[in-house]
Amino acid sequence: MADIHIPNPRIAEREKSGPHLTKHEHIGLNGRIAVLITNAVSTMWCAYIFAIIALISLPSAISGGTAALISWIAQTFLQLVLLSVIMVGQKVAAQASDKQAMQTYKDAEALLKIEDEVHRLVKMNNELTQEIHSFLTKNSS
> Please, what is the average pLDDT of the chain?
85
Contact 133, 24 (CB under 8 A): no
Report the number of distinct structural domains present in the chain.
Answer: 1
**1 belongs to a structural domain:** no
Give CA–CA dist 59/46, Å, rounded: 22
Q: Decide if pLDDT at 3 tops 90.
A: no
**4 belongs to a structural domain:** no
pLDDT range class, residue 57, cuts 50, 70, 90? very high
pLDDT range class, residue 92, cuts 50, 70, 90? confident
- Predicted confidence at residue 59, as pLDDT, reads 95
Higher pLDDT, 12 or 38: 38
Neighbours of 94 (CB within 10 A): 15
Interacting residues of 61 by C-beta distance below 8 A, sequence separation 6+: 68, 69, 71, 72, 76
Q: Decide if pLDDT at 41 tops 70.
A: yes
Higher pLDDT, 14 or 48: 48
**13 belongs to a structural domain:** no
pLDDT (average), residues 8-16: 76
**36 belongs to a structural domain:** yes
pLDDT range class, residue 110, cuts 50, 70, 90? confident
**2 belongs to a structural domain:** no
**9 belongs to a structural domain:** no
In order, the DSSP letters of 82-135 are: IHHHHHHHHHHHHHHHHHHHHHHHHHHHHHHHHHHHHHHHHHHHHHHHHHHHHH
Residue span of the structural domain in which 126 resides:
22-140
pLDDT (average), residues 107-126: 88
